[in-house]
Amino acid sequence: EALKKVQEKQRELAQQRQEASEKLKDLSDTRAELKKKKQEVQGKLASAQKLLNTLTAKEKAALAAQDRERATRAGERVDLGHTKAASGRAAAAFAAAQSVIGSPYDYGHAGPSTFDCSGLTSWAYAQADVSIPRTSEAQANAGTRIYSQSALQVGDLVIFYGDQHHVGLYAGGGQVLHAPHSGALVRYESIGNMPFQFGVRI
């Protein structure tokens, strides 16, 4: 009886080993595929950067103007719903941020013509005569935290990612107004496109 149990255990273990081996192979194939895709993307990025480097200053300016126009047009099509502002100052900060839609992202800048994410939010609140900290991590602790997306109001800060490295302004209708990343412009984006952590009411 004991021998039978041992043999059954061995069969189970052999089956588990085989399943684990198959999963490992799948994982290895996936990793190889991801590596290939990453190389393709890096190649395309390098080609795009090379092409960008060949443009004259005039051509770059024309391209930037087109991007700004596109971002503004896209912003006009966004349905923000009828969410009310968290306060008068939140409404003023949000209106200020709306006025710079289409401005380029620039790391370390807080306006008036280029912004990084927390640069945009701190600049917007400064236009409403409210001083908030400069970085997204510090802004995460600058007011009352709101953990439910449904409780967010226009002008609330919205903190993204576990390390709180990104921030935007809630725009209503499930949209956030933010300066996304290098190479992008200040624009609206669905709040669901990034890992939401919580809101902050100033």
What is the set of active-site residues? 117, 166, 178
CA distance 194 to 129: 29
| DSSP string covering 152-184 | --BT-EEEESTT--EEEEEEETTEEEE--STT-
User: Phi and psi for 172 in degrees, rounded to 5?
Assistant: 95, 160
Return the bridge partners of 65, or none.
none
Q: Coil, helix or strand for 101?
A: coil
Residues 6 or more apart in contact with residue 66 via CB below 8 angstroms: none
Strands 157-160 and 166-172: antiparallel
